[in-house]
Amino acid sequence: MSRIVTAFNKTVVEYFRKTSLNGFGLLYFIRKRRIQRIFWFLFISFGIVFASYAVFSMILEFLSYSTIADVSELKVLEDEIYFPELKICSGYKFSHRKMLASAYDLVNSQNKSLDFWLQKLSLLSGYFDPLSVKEEYVDDINSLLDIKNISSFLLGLTPACESLILRCKVNNISANCSKLFTLKAYNDGICCVLRRGNLTGELTLFMDSSHIDEYPLNGNFPGFSLHVPSWQGRVSINPGEIAAVEIEVMELQGNSQLNEYAIEKRACYFSQEGESREKCLHECRIKATLINCQCVPYPFESRSEKFGHCTLENITCLQLVERNWSPAQCPQCLPLCNQLLYRLHKQILGHLHPWRSELNFKFKAPHRQLYKTNILYHWYQMLSNVGGVLGICIGCSFISGFELIYFLVFRLWSNYLRQPET
């Protein structure tokens, strides 16, 4: 037998005889009682296997789910819950009366018929939805219309907020609608947006989806659509409806200690690291257009000295981007760790005149759901859990671990040197 094997056997016997783990020591002291020794060996083996499984599972859970979300309700005063940036969009992209007025101006300045200009003006919907027009129909539209400021021109063709929102009430007190709402351009159309402010309580709107604004275009519909930031859904309001719209508020609150983790692991941004997912996806889509079409898409929010604004001459490329782009192409767009989320719930209360609608906005409850994201385990909690499992199953501790290292290194080397050379 070699010196190392003899030294190892001697070290193992010495370990079981002198170890502070009494359960392991019994394997040496009851070596003459065979049945008891087998039983004790099986019991210790089971403890080692179970402890290994528990520790391994705990480590995998820690690596896979480093954070945990705790759901609770946060009660707040009514005057501390503010309305979000509510967006109200007409179902008609263009106003029929404004299209007629613009077409008559073009008839007077150029020798073409009214129907011809109405058809050409309808093609401008391609700025909102590139797939709504055919590329062979828009080849000459830029030269025919000769529009220097397409943003202002499109704004002049859409229904104005004054014609859509007739009257407003805030907490049952009449308010000036023009001070509450402003017309704003988005990539899918031009909408009336509630100005940011300390608006609380209830908001009542008397709407008009007049047939004077009705203009037949692909995707148009009578009525309105409602949208709030951070929510992909929409609520549709049909003409003649009296509807109560409840705003549900949810708050995401990330523990500041989450900064210890990489962004990819915690899957959210703090305010100093990034922007909201909705804004990030919008900019990601713009970048896709810049890369493929070499131009800035409508509503031309991005400023670029290298690229000009997209026109309908770029419709082939814009349609390609529209068909192929998806949020999955922007994995870097993550939600904020701390933000307010909103959701709309609609309930029909009755009906009015076929072209009138009444909307009553209020918050669903004087409290909001609070989603707290905390670290699942700190390193010292992880160490405590592992130590607890090892202590319960096999009675092991830090001292026991260092003791094992001592015997496997120093005692083994000492016993090896003491063996005579063969």
pLDDT at 68: 57
Position 137, amino acid: Y
Output the pLDDT for position 288. 92
Q: Is 375 helix (H, G, I), strand (E, B) or coil?
A: strand
Per DSSP, 313 falls in state G
Cis peptide before 299 (omega within 30 of 0): yes
3-state secondary structure of 341: strand
Burial of 306 (0-12, 13-18, 19+ CB in 10 A): exposed
Give the pLDDT confidence score for residue 360 in this predicted structure: 93
pLDDT digits (tens, 9 = 90+) for 7-34: 777 887 777 777 777 677 666 666 667 7
**In this predicted structure, what is the pLDDT of residue 383?**
74
DSSP state of 269: B
Predicted pLDDT at 205: 93
User: How far is residue 46's CA from residue 89's CA, in Å, rounded to a whole number?
Assistant: 67
The predicted structure's pLDDT at residue 321: 92
Strand pairing report for 356-363 and 203-208: antiparallel
Element of type H or E holding 102 = helix 96-109
d(CA 317, CA 310): 10
| Residues lower than pLDDT 50 in the chain | none
